[in-house]
Amino acid sequence: MGHPFPIREIARQAGLSEATVDRVLNGRGGVRESTAREVRQAIADLDRQRTQVRLVGRTFMIDIVMQTPERFSTAVRAALEAELPALHPAVVRSRFHFRETGPVEEQVRTLDRIARRGSQGVILKAPDVPEVTAAVGRLVAAGIPVVTLVTDLPASARLGYVGIDNRAAGATAAYLMGQWLGDRPGNVLTSLSSGFFRNEEEREMGFRGAMRAHHPGRTLVEIAEGQGLDATQYDLVRAALARDPDIRAVYSIGGGNIATLRAFEDLGRECAVFVAHDLDHDNTRLLSEHRLSAVLHHDLRQDLREACHLVMRAHGALPPAGPTLPSAIQVVTPYNMPTVATAG
């Protein structure tokens, strides 16, 4: 396991003891495979961040904890690491704790581990449930500021929220849907990954409210709990299409768009309008192929930069600033795609 990093640096990155890291690096027994994976991941993270490791400045170790499909966690990792040089002279080091799905208890255990071992801050994407709210409270009580990303936990002790106005995003999707469908008949499928993420709930409320106000005759058909994963999304969409022969458009709030389109194609059905969120690698390709009508996008690099600044301000490393404003919502079509697309 060749690398140029001291054991102390790897141990700090992995959140493990130096003795444990030493056992892994030297192939000694008594270490679980999951622990060995954490050490390997820490070395990989350090390698990507090595341009920052030797910069002179105040160091902030930040933990990014997210429940999200791999396509979005990949975009978050890339966006944060692309921003690291811009945060100079501060040095921001990051540890990533990503999972696609699973019981909320797993995420709570991750947050509690961070509270015990310490961190300069946590950037969090998590379901809005009491157990997570309580875990955020324990982090803040331990002196660790928490910033929510993309989806908020407003009842928690979090320091701030960074992301778009999700109700406005849903209403924007309704506006586009109404304009493009026009007077053509057809019902609209709304797809959420989970009912426990506040951002998705707010997008759905914004969409439903605007559709009810301006297109009251249009029926909305909701599916949920696909977790944004293609394997589960396909079955949910196919079942909805089988039940309702009048579905002709999709507002995808929670992702899984490749599977959604495949379900339409396998049943020989047309999707006349498809509005989605996030310019991740899947949606970038689908949009360039004209299989999506539009993607609601915002600058994830800017969001990660603001999240880091909030953490720095909490430690007195930056001067106070005004309230964090919502990120700008961009309507991206196949004809105005950014040169470098970063999901958000």
Q: Tell me the CA end-to-end span of the chain in Å, nearest whole number.
A: 34
- The tokens for 90 are 């501060």
Q: Which amino acid is at 174?
A: A
Q: C-alpha distances in angstroms, 210 versus 200, 206, 245, 327?
A: 15, 6, 24, 21
Give pLDDT, residue 343: 42
Domain 53-163+300-327 matching CATH 3.40.50.2300: the answer reads yes
DSSP state for residue 147 in the 8-state scheme: E
Query: Edge-to-edge strand order for the sheet containing 247-252?
Result: 220-223, 187-191, 247-252, 273-277, 294-297, 330-332
Give pLDDT, residue 90: 80
Q: What is the mean pLDDT of each run of 10 residues along the chain (344 residues)?
A: 78 87 85 88 80 61 93 91 83 90 93 96 97 98 97 97 97 98 96 92 97 96 90 95 97 95 97 95 95 96 95 89 92 88 43
Give pLDDT, residue 341: 45
Give pLDDT, residue 1: 55
Give pLDDT, residue 51: 54
CATH topology of domain 166-297: Rossmann fold (3.40.50)
Residues of the chain with CATH 3.40.50.2300: 53-163+300-327, 166-297
Return the half-sphere exposure (C-beta side, CA atoms, 13 A cut-off) of residue 301.
12
Q: Which amino acid is at 268?
A: G
Spatial separation of the C-alpha atoms in residues 55 and 330, rounded to whole Å: 35
Give pLDDT, residue 340: 55
- Evaluated on CA atoms 9, 13, 19, 23, the torsion sign reads negative
